[in-house]
A = this chain, B = another copy of it.
Amino acid sequence: MNETINLLMNHRSIRKFKDEKLTESQIKTIVEAGQAASTSSYYQAYSIIGVTDLNIKQQLREVSGQPYVEENGHLFVFCADLNRLAQSQDETTREQMKTNLESTEFFMMATIDATLAAQNCAVATESLGLGMCYLGSLRNDVNRVNDILNLPEYVVPLFGMAVGVPEEKPERKPRFDWTTVYHENQYDITTAAEFHAFDKTVTDYYTHRATNGRDDQWSEQIKRKLTNPMRQDVGPFIQDKSLNRH
């Protein structure tokens, strides 16, 4: 196992950081590592917003409800961005591009582009000895995040990433056995035995972990979360931004 694979395998999300800001040079390295990821058809259809303004951070913390959105070494927000593609052309051409810009295909593509870049940023961050945590919780109120960050047409926030010097060392959270997510040649429906095995793994993890030990199962978590409709405003918001319309 090489150094990089060792780093990837040892990922854990960090939610408590020392009060130590990232340097400009660290931020540049992380962003450029993100940019080095593959990008669909050379579009680079994403933007990354670094949040340093304390007032903006506090507002974003209110959206997410998580203290580490405010208390960290740096906060990134990753956006799917088709505005840059539109902006690169004159008005006539922009009009001719609308069918693509407003399609589900292009929305997916921009979401994928942003996420490829983000994961490279995550890996770069950890390789620098820093910790990070994704913040899907910014989608608790996409309209508010949109207003706070002043996002134009064709740009939507996907998730944040809190980065900093770790002040905790949580255990590694188990995953499905690799054969459950990996299929050969054809899709196989996950079996009851696979769910039981993973529930047992997760129960052991929650019972034995050093802090916040509890009695829980993966499938029970899924039931609690998914039977409760959430973030139903995300779909209409994205269409209001002229994306994902057909």
Contact = CB atoms under 8 A, between A and B. Distances in A.
Nearest to A134: B38
Interface of A: 1-5, 7-11, 13, 27-29, 31-33, 35-44, 46-53, 56, 79, 83-85, 87-89, 93, 96-97, 99-101, 103-105, 108-109, 111-112, 115-120, 122-124, 127-128, 133-134, 136, 139, 149-152, 155, 158-159, 173, 175-176, 178, 180-187, 189-190, 195, 218-219, 221-223, 225-232, 234-236, 238, 244, 246
Nearest to A115: B115
Main secondary structure, interface of A, reads: helix
A175 B11 CA distance: 27
A88 B181 contact: no
| Listed residue (A53, A181, A186) with the most chain B CB atoms within 10 angstroms of its CB | A181
A2 B10 CA distance: 17
Contacts of A93: 223, 227
B159 A222 contact: no
A234 B183 contact: no
Contacts of A149: 185-187
